[in-house]
Every structure is written in C-alpha cells, then in structure tokens.
Chains A and B, each alone.
Chain A
Amino acid sequence: MASKVLHAIYRDDDLLMQAVKQIREARYHIGEIYCPFPVHGLDKAMGLAPTRLAITSFLYGLVGLSVAIAMMNFIMIEDWPQDIGGKPSFSFLQNMPAFVPIMFELTVFFAAHLMVITFYMRSKLWPFKKAENPDVRTTDDVFLMEVDVAGHNVDDLTNFLYETGASEIKLIDNK
C-alpha cells in the first residue's frame, strides 16, 4: 500500500479543534488523531459516527439486574431460605427491599466492567500490546494529526496545515 500521510503536530487542544474544522472544510481527509488526553467534542468535529457504547452499557446493566434477581432468588429464597430481619416469608417479592442494594450494585458492576471491556475490544487494546502512536510525545503534551495526502499536492497541503497552526509537519511515506 503506497500511501503518503502527513503528521502534523499541534501544541494546544483548542488549536487542534479549530484546525480539524478548517481541514475538513478544505476537504482533506484526516486519518487519525493522537491525543495525550480526551478532547471534548473532537469526535463530532471529526465527523465520526456516534458511539454505540452507551447502548451496550444499558444492555449490560439489564443483564446485571437480571443476574442479581436470579442470584438472590436462588440463594436467599430457594436454595437455603433465609429469615430476613424477622420476616421469614420465603417469598421473593416480600423480601425484595433487602435485595435492592445488591440489584443496584450488580447493575452498576456489570454495566461498568463490561462496558470497559467492550471498549478495549473495540479499540483493539489488550495487555502487552505494542503502542501504535507514531510519536512518543503524544503521551506527554502534543497532539498529532494524520492527514492523508491522497491525490493532493504535498507542498500545498503542508502550507495549509502550517496556516492552521501546526507547529511541525513530517511526511511519512508508507511503501
């Protein structure tokens, strides 16, 4: 795959946001942006599809709630009926208030943990994975934007990127 990309480095997130808007207006294609921290609203500015992580989180929450209900019903009512606070009614509904904290906790537990794991899988992250960022400084204080050269003139593009506030630009030739 012979593609040329420019690595433009920005030093400020506001500057980056403005640059993203200008570059998209000029119809250049941004491949990827590496940031030292999440930049609020960057996904919208880049025109990425909205995340579906929230929906999965909601579903995981429902799973957690069901697990909690089934678990408490089995443990406290069916398998070994428990006398709860002097209310030995052996009915799930009548002892339900005592289970609410557990239902709540498991809902949160499932939603949070499974959502994080889903996020890692979607972002292709796992332990001992080799870092992908092209410049180590993006873990410190700079923002790096990959712009596809595609059919454009490299010099024009470079000048344009400098105008948007890039502090340094590198041409990467993937051959």
Chain B
Amino acid sequence: MIVGAIGLIYGFIAAPETVEDVKEMMASEHHGEGHADESTTNINVEQLPGNEVEVENIEGYESEVAEGEHGEAHGAEASHEDEHYEHVLHQLQNKPWAALYVAAFFFFMISLGVLAFYAIQYAAQAGWSPVLFRVMEAITAYLLPGGLIVFVILALSGLHLNHLFIWMDPEVVAHDEIIQNKTAYLNVPFFLIRAAIYLGGWVLFRHLLRKNSIKMDDATDNSIFKKNFKLAAGFLVFFIVTESMMSWDWIMSLDPHWFSTLFGWFVFASLFVSGITTIALMTIYLKSRGYLEFVNDSHIHDLAKFMFGISIFWTYLWFSQFMLIWYSNIPEEVVYFITRMEDYPILFWGMIVTNFIFPVLLLMNSDYKRVNWFVVMTGIVILTGHYLNVYVLVMPATVGESWFIGIPEISGVLLFGGLFLFVVFNSLTKAPLLVKGNPFIKESKHYHY
C-alpha cells in the first residue's frame, strides 16, 4: 500500500506539465521509428515498446516524418503540431487521475457488489450462506472509506482540478449543443448531491445491517432477523435504482454524447461478479489459515457457481449492448465501440477471454468448482478482467489513445488494494467469524450439495 502511494505521487509528478515536455517526449519517441514507417500509407502508426498505440491523423503523421528528418518543425505545420501536442498533453495530464479513479472505483465496486450479494442472501432467506456472512460484512466495511475516496475524486473533478468529466468544463459545454441540452441533469452541484445520496444510502443500509447482525449474536428470538430481512429488501430496491444512476453519472457521463439503456445492468454485472469472486477468494484464504473450519467445499462450490453464472451474465449484457449498436450502425453510437476497438484492441478483446471464455471453461465442470486452487486461479483472472473492464469503460473517454498501463495504474491498484485489504481484515477482527442467532445457521453449517 505504501509502495502504491509512493508510486502514485510519482505518477502525478511525472505527468507532463507543459506542452514543451510532451513535444520533447514525443520527439524522442519518434526519432527512432519515424523512418521505418515512412513507406506505409497506413495511418495507424504503431510505436513504442511500451504497448502504446497511437492513431494519428495524416497531418500529424506527415509532420512527424518532417520532424524525424529535420529535427525541427516550422511554419504551418507547427500550429497543427501544437494542437495535436496540446491534445496529447491534456490526455497525459488526465492519466494519473483516471488511473486513480479506475482503481478507486474498482475496489469500491467490489464492496458494493458484496453488499448487494449480502442483501440478497437476507432477502431470499438463503440457508446455505450464513456461515459466510461475516466475511461479506467485512468486505462491505470498505464501502465507507472507498465511497469517500470516490466522492472526493468526483468533487475534485467538480472543482476543475482534473478534466475527467468534460461536461464539467463550461468552455466545452458552451460549444456543445448536446451537452447543453443535458445540463439540467449534468451539472456539478446536482451531480455531487446525487453522489452523496447514493453513497449515504448505501453506507446507511450497510451500517444498519451490520449492526443488527452483531446484535443477533445475543438475540433470543428472530425479531432482528426479520428486521434485517426487511432492511435487505428495502436496500435492494434502493440499490437497483441508485446503482443504475450511479453508473450513468460516474461512468457513462464520461462520454456525455453516448448513452446505452442497459449500462446500469452492465456495470452491475461487473461489480456483482467481482464482489462474489472476492468473497470466494477471501473465504478460501481464511479457510486455508484455519479460521473458517465450518466452511466446507459445498459453500465454495456455490460461490463458484455464482462466479460462473454471473460471468456469463456479464458477457450476455456486454454482447447485447454491442450487437444492437453494431447492427444499427448509427455513427454517434458506434463511435463508442470504434474508439475502444481501435485504441484498446488488446484489452477490449482480451476482456472477453478473461471474463467469459476462461471462467466458463474452467468452472464448467461441477467437480472443478470444489477444487480450491482452481477457484482461486479463475478468481484472480476474473478480478483482473473486471479491472480491465472498468479501465476500458473509463480510459477511452479520459485519456483517449494515450493509454498504457504504467506506474500510476499499477500503483493505484496497489494503493487501494492495500487500503481495501487493511480495512477488510481489520473489520474481520471486530466480530466473531461465525454469526450466531441466525435461524439458518444450523442448515448452513450442515449444508451439503
């Protein structure tokens, strides 16, 4: 975690400050390869060992060649170049912020997904899962700090300290009729009020559920359980509305021109499967340390079933969204996928492998779902895949083609991953690992598939 924090600070410092810096950087990058590509007419110029793919317009390409040959630019070309470089500069200045945001949101969404899963267990009066309740509660403990961090990042965007959300920039809005029509909804104060409502609601529900769950340990009747049942049902109603709006606000509005009606579900599938995977990983880890001897292979089996099922659900939504837009082929919608396919090909297609093909093939066999190291391996791949999913959701709108997974990204994950683990394990120590007083606990202990 500390390593992550240091890395992030470095990331911010390393972000280029001026147009001159970017020029210098790009010039040094292009000197080497500029000549090799001269013969190709392809406008996709690929450079850099660091996986960076840059799509440039013809002018940009020509001017680079000129630069490669002469080492300096002049005249009309120079103004083009300045524009281009300034564009890249903004993208690179956004990059550490976006990296921070992606990582912060990713870990936040895990704990939110776990909270939804936890509430479903109560609302459905599930008999198999109460032995896992304390693990789930511990993971949701990150909801408050994680939510605050996301909120602070959003607030900082609102204060124009970064340019993640272009609709927050009054200059952009002044020249953009589409965004102007949306200002009734997309404006900074309302945006932050909404964020506060979502977060406040979720944290409140989490707090009450947890409090009741601890009270239930000494309870003599089922009244608290009934209370939690009602709370959980209420939470789910509140959650499914606010989760959709959250996904529009926090992610979809990064591309303020584009919209998709199933976006909320798509983000939900991602956060739900990440959350379940995290429960499985945490459970297996704690069990291997001898803390959860009452958890048997059947519980792991059920979690793995959920990982399998929701992975397919995610793919279903991913494809539904993709196919309709692909089919209708309307430019303002298709551009969303074009940027992702052309600028992020490895991640965009790789995501399907990590989030669909891999879990489907590995977890299809009923026996494999009981083999702990299989579940762990698949779980790690799924989590990586869904980090990349968030990455591909956020990055194209914020840094465009100037992306690469570098120090800010990795350290962002380390920082929030460290904080996440710290909060979660800290919360695990606060209460006995087995809930008492839950009417289903006996069934759960004996649960056998």
Give residues 11-55 of B contacting A (CB, 8 Å).
Answer: none
Residue contact B364 to A58, C-beta cutoff 8 Å: yes
Residue contact A97 to B327, C-beta cutoff 8 Å: yes
Residue contact B327 to A85, C-beta cutoff 8 Å: yes
Residue contact A85 to B329, C-beta cutoff 8 Å: yes
Residues 299-336 of chain B: 1 if any A CB is under 8 Å from the residue's CB, otherwise 0?
00000000000000000000100110011110000000
Residue contact B323 to A97, C-beta cutoff 8 Å: yes
Residue contact A97 to B366, C-beta cutoff 8 Å: no
Residue contact A98 to B327, C-beta cutoff 8 Å: yes
| Contact residues in B for A98 (Cβ distance below 8 Å) | 323, 327
| Contact residues in B for A100 (Cβ distance below 8 Å) | 319, 323
With A41-B448, A54-B366, A58-B364 as contacts: A87 and B323 at CB distance below 8 Å: no
| Contact residues in A for B327 (Cβ distance below 8 Å) | 85, 97-98
Give residues 323-374 of B contacting A (CB, 8 Å).
Answer: 323, 326-329, 364-366
Residue contact B326 to A97, C-beta cutoff 8 Å: yes
| Contact residues in B for A87 (Cβ distance below 8 Å) | 329
**A86: CB under 8 A from chain B?**
yes
With A and B bound together, what is the CA distance between A41 and B298 in angstroms?
13
With A41-B448, A100-B319 as contacts: A86 and B329 at CB distance below 8 Å: yes
| Contact residues in B for A85 (Cβ distance below 8 Å) | 327-329
With A and B bound together, what is the CA distance between A97 and B327 in angstroms?
8
With A and B bound together, what is the CA distance between A58 and B365 in angstroms?
10
| Contact residues in A for B448 (Cβ distance below 8 Å) | 41
Q: How large is the interface on A (under 10, 10 to 19, 20 to 34, 35 or more residues)?
A: 10 to 19
| Contact residues in B for A58 (Cβ distance below 8 Å) | 364
| Contact residues in A for B364 (Cβ distance below 8 Å) | 58
Residues 181-224 of chain B: 1 if any A CB is under 8 Å from the residue's CB, otherwise 0?
00000000000000000000000000000000000000000000
With A and B bound together, what is the CA distance between A57 and B364 in angstroms?
12
| Contact residues in A for B366 (Cβ distance below 8 Å) | 54
With A and B bound together, what is the CA distance between A54 and B365 in angstroms?
8
Q: How large is the interface on B (under 10, 10 to 19, 20 to 34, 35 or more residues)?
A: 10 to 19
Residue contact A97 to B328, C-beta cutoff 8 Å: no
Residues 401-430 of chain B: 1 if any A CB is under 8 Å from the residue's CB, otherwise 0?
000000000000000000000000000000
With A and B bound together, what is the CA distance between A27 and B325 in angstroms?
64
With A and B bound together, what is the CA distance between A30 and B368 in angstroms?
30
With A and B bound together, what is the CA distance between A33 and B326 in angstroms?
55
Residue on A nearest B316 in the bound complex, by CB: A104
Residue contact B322 to A97, C-beta cutoff 8 Å: yes
With A and B bound together, what is the CA distance between A97 and B326 in angstroms?
8
Min CB–CB distance A19 → chain B (angstroms): 18
Give residues 426-449 of B contacting A (CB, 8 Å).
Answer: 448-449
Give residues 49-90 of A contacting B (CB, 8 Å).
Answer: 54, 58, 85-87
With A and B bound together, what is the CA distance between A85 and B328 in angstroms?
7
With A and B bound together, what is the CA distance between A57 and B394 in angstroms?
39
| Contact residues in B for A86 (Cβ distance below 8 Å) | 329
Residue on B nearest A41 in the bound complex, by CB: B448
| Contact residues in A for B449 (Cβ distance below 8 Å) | 41
| Contact residues in B for A101 (Cβ distance below 8 Å) | 323
Give residues 230-278 of B contacting A (CB, 8 Å).
Answer: none
With A and B bound together, what is the CA distance between A86 and B334 in angstroms?
14
With A and B bound together, what is the CA distance between A101 and B448 in angstroms?
36
| Contact residues in A for B365 (Cβ distance below 8 Å) | 54
| Contact residues in A for B329 (Cβ distance below 8 Å) | 85-87
Give residues 86-134 of A contacting B (CB, 8 Å).
Answer: 86-87, 97-98, 100-101
Residue on A nearest B327 in the bound complex, by CB: A85
With A and B bound together, what is the CA distance between A98 and B319 in angstroms?
11
With A and B bound together, what is the CA distance between A53 and B323 in angstroms?
33
With A and B bound together, what is the CA distance between A87 and B319 in angstroms?
18
Residues 29-58 of chain A: 1 if any B CB is under 8 Å from the residue's CB, otherwise 0?
000000000000100000000000010001
| Contact residues in A for B326 (Cβ distance below 8 Å) | 97
Residue on B nearest A87 in the bound complex, by CB: B329
With A and B bound together, what is the CA distance between A100 and B326 in angstroms?
13
Min CB–CB distance B426 → chain A (angstroms): 39
With A and B bound together, what is the CA distance between A155 and B130 in angstroms?
46
Contact sample, A vs B, 13 pairs, CB 8 Å cutoff: A41-B448, A41-B449, A54-B365, A54-B366, A85-B327, A85-B328, A97-B319, A97-B323, A97-B326, A97-B327, A98-B323, A98-B327, A101-B323
- B residues engaging A (CB < 8 A)? 319, 322-323, 326-329, 364-366, 448-449
Other CB < 8 Å A-B pairs besides A54-B365, A86-B329, 10 of them?
A41-B448, A54-B366, A85-B327, A85-B328, A85-B329, A97-B319, A97-B323, A98-B323, A98-B327, A100-B319
